[in-house]
Structure 1
Amino acid sequence: MSILKKLSEHIRQKGLRATLGKIWKHYVFSHQELIWMERDLVTPIPPHKLRPYTPLRLETITAQNAIAFGKHFGDRVGTMAELANEGHTGHMYLNEDGDAVAFIWGSKRNYHDRHYYGCWFPVKAGEFFEFGGEQIRAYWGTTLSVDFQLNLWKAMADQGCNKVVDVCEYHNIPALKLHIRMGYKEQGRIMNVYELFGRWRLYRETRYSGSRLDALRKPTPAPVAAEAT
């Protein structure tokens, strides 16, 4: 499909304003706010209503078995092998055909995200940085999003960690709701990523007070008063 046909199709589906906004962000200027979150590794997670999923096989990612990403994450095979060679801890979940359908990573040291944001994420002693958690669409809304985190937390606790930290894009509402559901807390820090003309990136950390996520939290039901007898 030619560029003009793609542009026309996007305008038809999303509208002119949304299309112009996407062009501006991609080719001129964009700003992403990455909210720092944290959680201890022992507090139980809150109750949830996620649906179950067909059992999968968990394997630690290595440079040798990264080929399992070929079917559903074909463009990530090399990246997965690189991360494994760098010594980060990665878990992948394989279906009955041996294809990876989900993955997640943890790093005990300062993490340089050269594959996506391009910046450094510092990690303190006792912490680990969680990144790259993803699953194919068939598993959205299942307890896999909980299980792959819990399993990574256990693996990192066995390596001496007592806290998980990560960042989440402020406009990624589903991911923010997942963090709230998992019991994460805001650190009051934001990593700002600025991109100019699709070429240059600038980074700046800012701080805030209070919560940026209160609007996403489900209200606590008011207690029902007992009727007089």
Structure 2
Amino acid sequence: MDVLRRLCGHIRRKGLRATLAKIRRMYIFAHQELLWMERDLVSPVPPHSLKPYPPLRMLKITESNASAFTRYFGNRVGVMAELASDGHTGHMHIDDNGDAVAFIWGTPRDYFDRHYYRCRFPVKPGEFFEFGGELTRAYWGTELSVDLQLRLWEAMALKGCRKVVDVCDSSNVPALKLHLRMGYTEQQRIMNIYTLFGRWRFYRETRYSGSRLAALGKTSRPSVTATAA
């Protein structure tokens, strides 16, 4: 009965077509396209109109301080400790109460994502793979989304990296716009993830020509206020 109640509630909120599409993705077949993006670590970030945020303290994530994620990312505490134990570089920004409100990870070696996508992302010499960046809702639309990445880029540059690479789900428009706002460019590569019956996963890399994000780029430019001469 509880399943039926949730199903009816989803139909009322999203409509029958959207509900059937979700059922198909969850239980029959799903296809995700992850677009590869890249950026050098020295070019300045383009101007933006993001909001300021209150002072926060940045810490390197370790196995011993992963408990700071309990309040806002309670289901990630174990994952954060595990990533730290694997030797990846993670930064968290904590508030006055000692609670993590944002985090991001990077690694200069091939990364196997066993927590979400469950596939391997290859990394070339001189690059590092950026992953897992997230902010609590209170910090959405603030400069923290920029500073979070800049601090990681600085740390990875000290390790000898010259370029950051990552992947972004083609359906995640806010994340794609953030990438464009940060000055990322497309590698014209796609990691395709196919899920069959919610259980089996298959992976295939494809390439494309041109730009998949040109239209988004036009809407991601910061607003400019005209002034009289």
Length-normalised TM-score, structure 1? 0.95
- Aligned mates of 2:139, 2:6 — CA distance in 1: 29
* Distance apart, 1:61 and its partner CA: 0.1
Residue 209 of structure 1 is matched in structure 2 by 209
- 2:186 alignment partner, SS class: strand
* Distance apart, 1:22 and its partner CA: 0.4
- Aligned mates of 2:63, 2:178 — CA distance in 1: 29
Code of the residue aligned with 1:217 in structure 2: it is G
Residue 20 of structure 2 is matched in structure 1 by 20
Residue 94 of structure 1 is matched in structure 2 by 94
* Distance apart, 1:186 and its partner CA: 0.3
* Distance apart, 1:218 and its partner CA: 1.8
Residue 47 of structure 1 is matched in structure 2 by 47
- Aligned mates of 2:218, 2:147 — CA distance in 1: 22
- 1:215 alignment partner, SS class: helix
Structure 2 unmatched runs, 5+ = 224-229
- 2:71 alignment partner, SS class: coil
Residue 66 of structure 2 is matched in structure 1 by 66
Structure 1 unmatched runs, 5+ = 222-229
- Aligned mates of 2:6, 2:163 — CA distance in 1: 45
Residue 161 of structure 2 is matched in structure 1 by 161
- Aligned mates of 1:99, 1:211 — CA distance in 2: 39
Q: Tell me how large the CA RMSD over aligned residues is.
A: 1.2
- Aligned mates of 1:56, 1:28 — CA distance in 2: 44
* Distance apart, 1:217 and its partner CA: 1.3
- Aligned mates of 2:152, 2:14 — CA distance in 1: 38
Percentage identity across aligned positions?
A: 69
- 1:7 alignment partner, SS class: helix
- Aligned mates of 2:217, 2:65 — CA distance in 1: 39
- Aligned mates of 2:107, 2:50 — CA distance in 1: 27
Residue 121 of structure 2 is matched in structure 1 by 121
Code of the residue aligned with 1:208 in structure 2: it is Y
- Aligned mates of 2:59, 2:2 — CA distance in 1: 41
- 2:116 alignment partner, SS class: coil
The runs of at least 4 aligned residues of structure 1 exceeding 3 Å deviation read none
Equivalenced residues, count: 221
Code of the residue aligned with 1:19 in structure 2: it is T
Length-normalised TM-score, structure 2? 0.95
- 1:218 alignment partner, SS class: helix
Residue 226 of structure 2 is matched in structure 1 by none
Code of the residue aligned with 2:193 in structure 1: it is V
- Aligned mates of 1:54, 1:9 — CA distance in 2: 38
Between 211-220 and 67-76, the greater mean CA deviation after superposition: 211-220
Residue 106 of structure 2 is matched in structure 1 by 106
- 1:17 alignment partner, SS class: helix
- Aligned mates of 2:104, 2:217 — CA distance in 1: 25
Code of the residue aligned with 1:65 in structure 2: it is N
CA shift digits 1:117-168 (9 cap, x unpaired): 0000000000000000000100000000000000000000010000000000
Code of the residue aligned with 2:131 in structure 1: it is F
- 2:218 alignment partner, SS class: coil
Code of the residue aligned with 2:147 in structure 1: it is D
Code of the residue aligned with 1:34 in structure 2: it is L
Matches within 5 A, 1:178-217: 178-217=178-217
Code of the residue aligned with 2:101 in structure 1: it is V
Matches within 5 A, 1:164-175: 164-175=164-175
Residue 133 of structure 2 is matched in structure 1 by 133
Code of the residue aligned with 2:17 in structure 1: it is R
Code of the residue aligned with 1:66 in structure 2: it is A
